[in-house]
Amino acid sequence: MPIPQEVEMKMREPLQSRVMTSHASIAVEETHGDGQVVLFIHGNSTCRQVFRKQFQSPLAEKHRFISIDLPGHGDSSDATDPSRTYTRPGLAGAVLETLERKQVESAVIVGWSLGGHIAIEMLARSNSVTALFLVGTPPVGEDIRQGFRGKPLGGLASQSVLSQEEITHFVEGIFGPCAEPFMRSAVARTDPQFRATLFAAAAKGEGFNQRQILSATSRLTAMVNGAEDTIVNLDYIDGVDYGNLWRGHCVRIPKCTHAPFWQTPEDFNVVLTDFLADIAGK
């Protein structure tokens, strides 16, 4: 007897769950695919919904896609100890705890912006990272400023409290004219302690030298950026001496800025499809 269409659609909807970690209660979303586990980590002051166009693609039926809301973001709780959690090492620890509690032994990490920095920290701390697919993430060394074109979003990325006008500027600076209301809600929801704590910790040098980590690793690393990104320094990203750079060069997706997965999802998904296929082939 065939399964009714509405039942089949319900079965395909991503699973929602919560994972208790020592950092926060983490909201998790995952698809039903039984292939490679692919973990998506969002950027500063956004949420897991920004990867909706990947979770609704055919790739999500083939692979087990997982996305989370970082502590202090989206449907996750605020950190119980902000000074411990709202740093690159702290966030990496929270994500690794989440994977452990979900019994995920290995995963490809798709990290966007801050999510990419978290992914590099995870790589330095755990063998669970199979490969990296980094988007809008300059692997920063001793001088973090080299990876960016001035202060990110004119300093808003590190500001504790944002006005409605500043939230709009923040969102449009990342997503451009295709921004949706949930993105503004995500920025407004973010724990006010998050941004300032994150940048203060980075200024103190907390975390690994990410340039050195990616230069030393043998794990496959894809560097994928919007060709018109005004936040990160694309020339800096191209100039890093990577240990195992996918296809031997950094990828620039045309006609998009800091969020190619949202702005040009068809082109982005083709690149991600090829990357996952290459991993499977090896």
Name the token pair of 130: 């199979």
The number of distinct structural domains making up the chain is 1
pLDDT of residue 3: 47
Q: Extract the residue ranges of the chain whose pLDDT is less than 50.
A: 1, 3-11
Question: What is d(CA 31, CA 60) in angstroms, rounded to the nearest whole number?
Answer: 6
CATH classification of the domain holding 79: 3.40.50.1820
Taking only the tens place, the pLDDT of each residue in 174-212 is: 999 999 999 999 999 999 999 999 999 999 989 999 999
Could you tell me the pTM of the whole model? 0.95
Question: pLDDT (tens digit, 9 = 90+) per residue, 98-116?
Answer: 999 999 999 999 999 999 9
> What is the predicted pLDDT for the residue at 8?
44
State CA 157 to chain mean position distance: 15
- Note the maximum CA span of the chain: 63
Which residues sit opposite 274 in a β-bridge?
A: none
Domain span including residue 225: 5-281
Whole-angstrom distance, CA of residue 181 vs CA of residue 177: 12
Bridge partners (DSSP) listed for residue 221: 132, 245
pLDDT at 42: 98
Give the torsion through C-alpha atoms of 221, 226, 227, 230, to 10 deg. -110
Question: What is the structure's pLDDT at 24?
Answer: 98
pLDDT at residue 35 in the model = 87
The H-assigned helical ranges of the chain are 5-12, 52-55, 59-62, 82-85, 88-101, 114-125, 164-175, 181-189, 192-203, 210-216, 234-238, 260-263, 265-281
pLDDT computed for residue 7 by the predictor:
38
Residue 280 confidence (pLDDT): 87
Torsion angle (degrees, nearest 10) of CA 131, 134, 138, 140: -30
Question: What's the confidence (pLDDT) of residue 9?
Answer: 42
What per-residue confidence (pLDDT) applies to 72?
98
Q: What is the pLDDT of residue 282?
A: 64
